[in-house]
Amino acid sequence: METVLDTNILPTGKPKWLRVKLPTGKKYTELRGLVDKYKLNTICTSGSCPNMGECWGEGTATFMILGNVCTRSCGFCGVKTGRPETVDWDEPEKVARSIKLMNIKHAVITSVDRDDIKDGGSIIWKETVKAIRRMNPETTLETLIPDFQGMERNIDRIVEANPEVVSHNMETVRRLTREVRIQAKYDRSLAVLKYLKDQGIRRTKSGIMLGLGETEEEVIQTMKDLREANVDIVTIGQYLQPSKKHLPVKEFITPEQFAKYEAIGKELGFRHVESGALVRSSYHAQKHIL
């Protein structure tokens, strides 16, 4: 009996459209040297982002603040869960110096969830934006924030810092939220995004992962919910399992399906839609300020 091979599937079991090119280029090589020399902490390197070469080549990088231990235990995330270390009050200056050393044009700042402290980390968030503004006045900023448990006084610190873009990820559809994000709530995330826009944030943004068992109808409904919250930008990418302990991939979404979601997103009125297998939250982030 003849064996029929699916030419779209790699030996690893992943489809060919998930094949990642090794990062190259003069700008990438320069930045990689700086990161290694000064031990700079970027999500790009620690998260082995597939778009690192492209983003660095365009002068964009992502930095994580408030440590590398999260108080939440999301089923999709590779960040360690546990009791975080004490807050490093020198961190805002360290991040600002890293951005200056790397000559970053557009920086994305993100963090773990810090439900262990009263302000949720929002004070460090505000001080980090202020330090970057002071040391890098030409650098534009996106803050990819946690939900701060929906506490407006903590979200207000982000509003006061006034970055060009504020992002908060839905991650998945309503039905799967409890399984995927465990301590998070679908409606609370929507409320955070709406509140940011209502308070005058110029560009708001959110992202979802596909391949966790959601239906097309559910994805479209999530996009509609985001538009109702006046979100400007949406990113849609393929979920990939960080380890065997994490939620399994239920489906690899085809490029054609990603293109369909992009078209639907544009019809719904999003200002920017990034939809593709290798799309991550900060993909093409520098374009989202326009």
Report the pLDDT averaged over residues 198-225.
97
Q: Give the lowest-confidence range in 64-73, 91-100, 165-174, 176-185.
A: 64-73
Report the pLDDT averaged over residues 71-90.
85
Question: Would you call 210 helix, strand, or coil by DSSP?
Answer: strand
Report the pLDDT averaged over residues 200-220.
97
Q: Give the lowest-confidence range in 54-63, 182-191, 235-244, 272-281.
A: 54-63
Inter-CA distances, 84 with 71, 87, 112, 182, Å: 7, 8, 9, 18
Report the pLDDT averaged over residues 190-201.
98
Query: 23-37, 62-76, 201-215, 275-289: which has the highest mean pLDDT?
Result: 201-215
Confidence of residue 11 (pLDDT cuts 50, 70, 90): very low
Q: How far apart are CA 91 and CA 87, in angstroms?
A: 8
Q: Which two tokens stand for residue 118?
A: 């009263």
- pLDDT on residue 95: 92
- pLDDT on residue 259: 98
| Phi and psi torsions of 109, nearest 5° | -110, 130
- pLDDT on residue 35: 76
Residue 42 scores a pLDDT above 80 = no
Confidence of residue 31 (pLDDT cuts 50, 70, 90): confident
The CB-side HSE value for 40 (13 A sphere, CA atoms) comes to 27
- pLDDT on residue 2: 36
Q: What is the DSSP letter of 3?
A: P
- pLDDT on residue 59: 82
Residue 36, classified by CB atoms within 10 Å of its CB into exposed (0-12), middle (13-18) or buried (19+), is: exposed
- pLDDT on residue 287: 83
Report the pLDDT averaged over residues 109-116.
92
Q: What is the DSSP letter of 4?
A: P
- pLDDT on residue 12: 58
Residue 8, classified by CB atoms within 10 Å of its CB into exposed (0-12), middle (13-18) or buried (19+), is: exposed
27 or 154, which is more confident?
154
Beta strands per DSSP E along 21-139:
60-65, 69-70, 80-81, 106-111
Q: What is the DSSP letter of 73?
A: -
Q: Which two tokens stand for residue 51?
A: 């778009």
Average pLDDT, the chain: 89
Q: Which two tokens stand for residue 192?
A: 């955070």
Asked if residue 86 lies in contact with residue 92, where contact means CB atoms within 8 angstroms, the answer is no
Report the pLDDT averaged over residues 29-37.
79
80 or 156, which is more confident?
156
pTM, to two decimals: 0.89
Q: Give the lowest-confidence range in 56-60, 75-79, 231-235.
A: 75-79
Report the pLDDT averaged over residues 79-106.
90
